[in-house]
Structure 1
Amino acid sequence: MQQLENEMTLYHGSYCVVEKPDLKKCAKYKDFGQGFYLTTSKEQAKSFAKISATKAKFKGIISNNEKFAYISCFNVKDQKELNSFCFENADTSWLHCIVAHRKSGSFIEIIEKMQEFDVISGKIANDNTNATILAYMGNVFGAMGTEQSDKMCISLLLPERLKDQYCFRTEKAISKLQFIKSEKVVLE
């Protein structure tokens, strides 16, 4: 997992161009909580752009005839001014953090610990892994938080295949993102 660095290029996929991220518009119950999510993987951003456009069409936010989604590209500036936390691996701590942010009332101490960070980064638990995370939260592998259920869930997630994500959680963090450009993604 790559630590956040100055001049790092990050990508965000959406149904629209995002030049100025607005934390108030960001969904709350995501992997690392409410925030603006980016990745170093342009392919992952492209995939998210398509998913975002599909959801926006379903909700009537954009026309069903829309032919494009967008990847917005950003550079990170003055990263050292940010309080960042990086999960180096998809391990038990990472899993518990994701579940804490997705399922209200679980692993409360983690939510409290993570409040101090402007940016949290780690592997992504994306739509391909969602069923496994839901099974874990439903105690399908055993009681959530036990060694047995943690190991089972992580092994099924195939962590070596997971891409990265960077969650910019505060206005201070957002202010360190410099918009570079956007690119169209053709919807098929």
Structure 2
Amino acid sequence: MTAQKLRPYFLSHHIIVLTNSPLGRIMTHSEVSEQMIKWTVELGEYDIEYKPRVAIKAQALSDFLSEMVQPEEEEVWRVFVDGASNLSECGVGVVIIAPLGEKIKLALRIDSRVTNNEAEYEVVLAGIRTAQDIGASRIILYSDSQLITQQIKGVYEAKYDRTLKYLKLIKSQSEIFCGLEY
């Protein structure tokens, strides 16, 4: 019934069916059940190609989001970040809320040993990079670390080499945005 209703579309376009089942092999061999033979005859006139489905990787998902979401200049994306470190582990979390309310959540584990402040810097970088990947032009970044946000704004002075490197990296990454608030 679907093939009959979509006949003009099927005849004028090349169709690719992504599937993990052996559908392509079944549809191209004659030693199948009577119902499958009917389907094979019915669909045989169309240009249908069967391909195996591949796994969606993080970059493919990011590419998809950047293609599908085209924010306007006035749209503000909210980026919430938090990082934590202890003697055994370090992890960071990012939640991005689009102007229309959709949420994108990201959790990362850092394998190297870092201080709690360094974990906060890492999560700010992860939030900025993710916002760039999805095409946000204006963001407001929310962090519970007053030290980090005030150092980024220039209110507090950064004294350590690693802190200065993080600040320089954050400043260079955030230049792409037409608006960035902390």
TM-score, normalised on structure 2?
0.22
The higher-RCO structure (CA 8 Å, 6+ apart) is 1
Bigger proportion of residues as helix: 2
TM-score, normalised on structure 1?
0.21
- Report the structure number with the largest CA radius of gyration: 2
